[in-house]
């Protein structure tokens, strides 16, 4: 991060919360004023463009994980640069938005879910800051991958808005970018997974390594492979995403003042 950007980001006082947007969420609030802070990190020649959104619910940092034009596939995202940049900007709490497929019965399309566990099936991604001889704390605790206090705020906000929010689920993170086979989903079911997505890891673990409090808010946009009728339709996924994104925005804006 350049000194100027660092100074400016640091002076964005009070903005201690960040949202990492997934598919369909490229801005927190459509008409919010946005300031951009280019943050250089050791993980990319290009700076991460951190957006500071002045929303109706207060200020929050925002990163669209797939890029503003959705150009990055899950395995192409520079998770380390994103998390590092947020840490540099003084962020303490992160809400990650992820779209997922539903594996277990209750996880119907349209369901909003607050997972409390995850299993990582990804491979070949840069998944740690703790490599090399400089590493100090290689074995961070990850018993509970998601922050319960942020989850509680999201639950209260959902209650206030009368929005159903399913609490407690196991998130399977697969490599993608293709969707899974029906047999792969049956294996995930046997492993105890409830929902499946491609972007939850290594993000959650990198946040933990940096000491950031991190919660995931997931939206089910399709029955996972073999769990619905026929094949997975991109159009159906788009429709559920479109229908659910308003609820996600409302929930985030209701929760922000309690997390700032
Ligand atoms: N599998 C993996 N990732 C996903 C899915 C799915 O079915 N739906 C949305 N993201």
- Per-10-residue mean pLDDT of the chain, 260 residues long, equals 54 79 91 94 95 95 92 95 97 98 97 98 96 79 98 98 97 98 98 98 97 98 97 96 96 95
Alpha carbon of 144 to ligand 1 centroid (Å): 23
CA distance linking residue 31 with residue 1, whole number of Å: 28
| Neighbour-count burial of 132, counting CB atoms closer than 10 A to its CB (0-12 exposed, 13-18 middle, 19+ buried) | exposed
Give the pLDDT score at 6. Answer: 57
Give the pLDDT score at 3. Answer: 46
User: Is 220 a pocket residue for ligand 1 (Cβ < 6 Å)?
Assistant: no
User: Is 197 a pocket residue for ligand 1 (Cβ < 6 Å)?
Assistant: yes
Give the pLDDT score at 8. Answer: 60
Give the pLDDT score at 12. Answer: 58
CA distance linking residue 194 with residue 142, whole number of Å: 19
Question: 33-59 burial by CB neighbour count: b if 16+ within 10 A, else e?
Answer: eeeebbbbbebeeebbebbbbbbebbb
Q: Are 15 and 61 in contact (CB under 8 A)?
A: yes
Alpha carbon of 198 to ligand 1 centroid (Å): 7
In sequence order, the 6+-apart residues with CB closer than 8 A to the CB of 62 are: 18, 19, 20, 21, 27, 28, 34, 50, 51, 52, 53
Give the pLDDT score at 131. Answer: 82
In this structure, what DSSP letter does residue 74 have?
G
In sequence order, the 6+-apart residues with CB closer than 8 A to the CB of 165 are: 112, 113, 114, 154, 155, 158, 251
Among protein residues, the one whose CA lies closest to atom 6 of ligand 1: 101
Alpha carbon of 93 to ligand 1 centroid (Å): 25
Give the pLDDT score at 68. Answer: 84
Q: Are 259 and 239 in contact (CB under 8 A)?
A: no
Bridge partner residues of 112 (DSSP)? 219
Alpha carbon of 247 to ligand 1 centroid (Å): 19
Give the pLDDT score at 1. Answer: 47
User: Is 247 a pocket residue for ligand 1 (Cβ < 6 Å)?
Assistant: no
């Amino acid at each position: 991060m350049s000194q100027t950007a660092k100074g400016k980001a640091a002076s964005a006082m009070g903005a201690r919360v960040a949202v990492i947007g997934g598919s369909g969420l490229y801005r927190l609030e459509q008409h919010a004023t946005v300031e951009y802070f280019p943050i250089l990190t050791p993980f990319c020649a290009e700076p991460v463009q951190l957006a500071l959104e002045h929303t109706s619910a207060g200020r929050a940092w925002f990163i669209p994980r797939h890029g503003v034009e959705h150009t990055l596939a899950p395995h192409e995202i520079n998770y380390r640069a994103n998390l590092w940049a947020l840490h540099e900007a003084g962020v303490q709490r992160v809400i990650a938005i992820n779209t997922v497929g539903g594996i277990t019965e209750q996880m119907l399309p349209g369901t909003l879910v607050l997972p409390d566990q995850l299993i990582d099936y990804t491979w070949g991604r840069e998944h740690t800051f703790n490599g090399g001889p400089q590493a100090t704390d290689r074995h961070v605790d990850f018993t509970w991958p998601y922050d319960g206090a942020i989850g509680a705020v999201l639950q209260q906000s959902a209650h206030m808005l009368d929005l159903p929010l399913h609490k407690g689920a196991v998130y399977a993170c697969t490599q993608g970018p293709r969707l899974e086979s029906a047999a792969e989903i049956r294996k995930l079911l046997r492993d105890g997974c409830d929902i499946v997505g491609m972007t939850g890891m290594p993000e959650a673990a990198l946040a933990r390594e940096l000491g950031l409090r991190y919660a995931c808010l997931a939206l089910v946009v399709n029955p996972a492979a073999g769990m619905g009728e026929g094949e997975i339709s991109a159009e159906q996924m788009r429709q559920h995403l479109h229908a659910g994104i308003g609820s996600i925005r409302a929930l985030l804006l209701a929760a922000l003042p309690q997390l700032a």
